Amino acid sequence: MTRVRGIVAAALVVGLGAPASARPARQVAPVVATAPEAAVAVDKVQAFYAKVTHLTAAFQQAVTTATFADTRRSAGHVWIARPGKMRWDYDGKPRRGHVAVKRSVISNGTYLYVVEHDNKQVFKKDVKRDLMPAAISFLYGKGDLKTAFTPAIDTSGTYGTRTDVVLALTPKQPSAQFTALYLVVDPATYRVKESIVVDSSANVNHFTFDAPDTAAAVPDSLFEFDERGAAARYYKIHDADAEQAKAE
């Protein structure tokens, strides 16, 4: 179940915007500015997303494991819509000029499905039971990051560029899934350009996003996995919540 939890964590903590220059993930003690300045920045970020109803983007993901100091990279496309709907399609290896979808993470706002196309498995999870609602709710103009996190301005230079605003968000309640959330913000619009999750083992999950589009229509069908549909009969569906409860 660790794998499913990791995928869910990655899916729920996201930022949307243009990518910054790639750089290796590294952990340093953050240099932070005053809390009032950070609180103002958080308010502006939430105000920006309060106006967004849907968007699409290409993404790149880099997951760095602290123990082995190795980084795994992946890419794909993401679609997000209110209320609480999202879809992540991860690209597989190109074959004969065609890139097939290797894995999909789909949420219709009630359930989240992790669909592994290669081995024909689906992990289903009730999103209401997840541990990070505040980390995603601001994307849909709801919730308050300052209620769940203590914000600071990170000036260490670890993430973003010199002109970016980098928010370091520390959860007020301990979380097994992450110890810090960094948001790299465009100072002109307060759109989130990158999001970085650091977990309790110092592993880093870093997303950047390319060509965000808030104008193109996003069909509701993208956010559904039909468990009784014709395609689903080829997949083994796991109830992640039930399996987790049984293991505990």
Residue 68 is predicted with a pLDDT of: 86
78-124 tens-digit pLDDT: 898 887 788 999 998 877 777 788 999 998 888 889 999 999 999 99
Q: What is the pLDDT of residue 109?
A: 84
- Euclidean distance between CA atoms 112 and 117, whole angstroms: 16
Q: Report pLDDT for 54.
A: 87
Cα angle 177, 5, 108 (rounded to 5 degrees) comes to 115
Q: Which of these, 145, 195, 144, lies nearest to 170 by C-alpha position?
A: 145
Higher pLDDT, 120 or 8: 120
Whether the pLDDT of residue 208 is over 50: the answer is: yes
pLDDT value at 214 more than 50: yes
Q: Tell me the per-residue pLDDT of 118-144, one tens digit each, with 9 for 90 and over.
A: 999 999 988 776 544 455 566 655 567
Q: Range with the lowest mean pLDDT among 122-131, 149-158, 209-218, 233-242?
A: 122-131
Q: What's the mean pLDDT in 189-218?
A: 86
244 against 182, higher pLDDT: 182
Predicted local confidence at residue 222, as pLDDT = 93
Domains of the chain, residue spans: 2-247
**Per-residue pLDDT at 190 exceeds 50:** yes
Q: Rounded mean pLDDT of 63-80?
A: 90
Average pLDDT, rounded, for the chain: 79
Q: Is pLDDT at 213 greater than 70 in this prediction?
A: yes
In this prediction, residue 223 carries a pLDDT of: 93
pLDDT of residue 122: 94
pLDDT at 191: 86
| pLDDT in the model for residue 176 | 67
- Shortest CA distance to 118 belongs to which of 88, 92, 87, 86? 92
Confidence band, pLDDT 50/70/90 cuts, at residue 76: very high
2-247 fold:
outer membrane lipoprotein receptor (LolB), chain A (2.50.20)
Please tell me which residue, 247 or 35, carries the higher pLDDT value.
Answer: 247
Calculate what percentage of the chain has a pLDDT beyond 90: 26
